Amino acid sequence: MTEAPPRLNQRDLTEVRRIVDAVASAFSAKVVGQQHLRESLLIGLLAGGHILLESVPGLAKTTAARVVAESIRGGFRRIQCTPDLLPSDIVGTQIYEAATNSFVTQLGPVHSNIVLLDEINRSSAKTQSAMLEAMEERQTTIAGVEYPIPEPFLVIATQNPVDQEGTYPLSEAQTDRFMIKEIVHYPTAEEEVEVIARMDAGLYDRGHHTAPVVGVEDIRRVQAMVGVVHMDRALIQYASHLVGVTREPDRYLPASTARLIEYGASPRATIAFCRTARALAVLNGRGHVVPDDVARLAHRVLRHRLVLGFEAATARVTPDVVVDAVLRAVPVP
């Protein structure tokens, strides 16, 4: 007889809420607005997945990543991606020491808890591919030796949707490694005024760090709890059906929408749905997933996994419009 999987009790949920609320409060104390960004960062952190951010410069992406890292007492490294960036600049390399007549390994900045790849599409395809092993296997290989990356491990990559000159678009294999993609929007007028007020108060002065509110061991414990959040089989089928519609659009979508899709999402999308839905349930203080958790994450999970054709580009149809059609095509359980 198969043993029933463990369930979260009220004590577990209370502990999770304490940890999550502490990190969320630290974020809000330093970053004005950007509630969607905060939620996506927490989901990625708790679900153990990576995040692709798209926005114009100056919307506090670096600040947000640094605040989360400092609040959990984790390591943080920022890598500015440029065309001349080499794979060894990210994963590390061996350096010759004349004093000892031997080579020593110097680990690269990817060996940290939270890594920000700023403008990832400005690095070459070779350098982008160097991140694949780190993101998927949680390790790097230098001179044939494997070096594990510390947990928790979260890669946050940014790209600018406006300036495409001198960039190398991410391949489908690379974008598929990102669990979710978040679009970061401009702040409201009131939020922008609050940013200036905090600058005048010295909250953004150099050296003004965020005090740790939890530890990396707390995050690892919450990640383990997220893994046992109950997700009914009907909801797993709902997520799978959403992904399946993108692969067979002619069967489920109106012809005008179906012909916009060249390639649908991979099984990683279904996995991402399940992992992020469990994390979102925990963020909302529940030990079980509800249908709205899955639907609410659809754009973030699918928008970067859909390959749209030339007709969509000429008509300026965004992936989010197609995801809206996918959601309408699948009945909510």
Domain ranges of the chain: 229-333
DSSP 122: G
CATH code: domain 229-333 is 1.10.8.80
Cα–Cα distance measured from residue 42 to residue 68, given in angstroms and rounded to the nearest whole number:
9
Supply the pLDDT for residue 181. Answer: 95
C-alpha radius of gyration, the chain, whole number: 21
- Helices H / strands E in the chain, number of each: 15, 11
The two three-digit tokens of residue 333, written as one number: 């359980």
76, HSE (Cβ side, Cα atoms, 13 Å): 19
Confidence of residue 205 (pLDDT cuts 50, 70, 90): low
H or E element, residue 261: strand 261-263
Supply the pLDDT for residue 206. Answer: 64
Supply the pLDDT for residue 252. Answer: 93
Supply the pLDDT for residue 5. Answer: 57
Confidence of residue 11 (pLDDT cuts 50, 70, 90): confident
Cα–Cα distance measured from residue 105 to residue 108, given in angstroms and rounded to the nearest whole number:
9
Average per-residue pLDDT for the chain? 88
Per-residue pLDDT of 188-203, as tens digits, reads 899 889 888 888 877 7
What are the start-end ranges of the E strands in 108-149? 114-118, 139-142, 145-148
More confident residue, 122 or 243: 243
More confident residue, 163 or 258: 258
Task: Give the mean pLDDT of 24-49.
Answer: 91
Residues 2-28 as b or e (16 or more Cβ within 10 Å = b) = eeeeeebeeebbebbbebbebbbebbe
The two three-digit tokens of residue 94, written as one number: 């061996």
Listed residue (40, 242, 288) closest to 154, CA to CA: 40
Give the Cβ contact number of residue 104 at 10 Å. Answer: 9
Residues 239-271 as b or e (16 or more Cβ within 10 Å = b) = bbbbbbbbeebeebbeeebbebbeebbbebbbe
H or E element, residue 297: helix 291-302
Supply the pLDDT for residue 1. Answer: 41
Per-residue pLDDT of 130-172, as tens digits, reads 887 788 888 888 888 889 999 999 999 998 876 565 567 787 8
Q: Tell me if the bond preceding 152 is cis, omega within 30° of 0.
A: yes
Q: Residue 2: is its pLDDT beyond 60?
A: no
Q: Cβ-count burial of 282 within 10 angstroms (0-12 exposed, 13-18 middle, 19+ buried)?
A: buried
Confidence of residue 327 (pLDDT cuts 50, 70, 90): very high
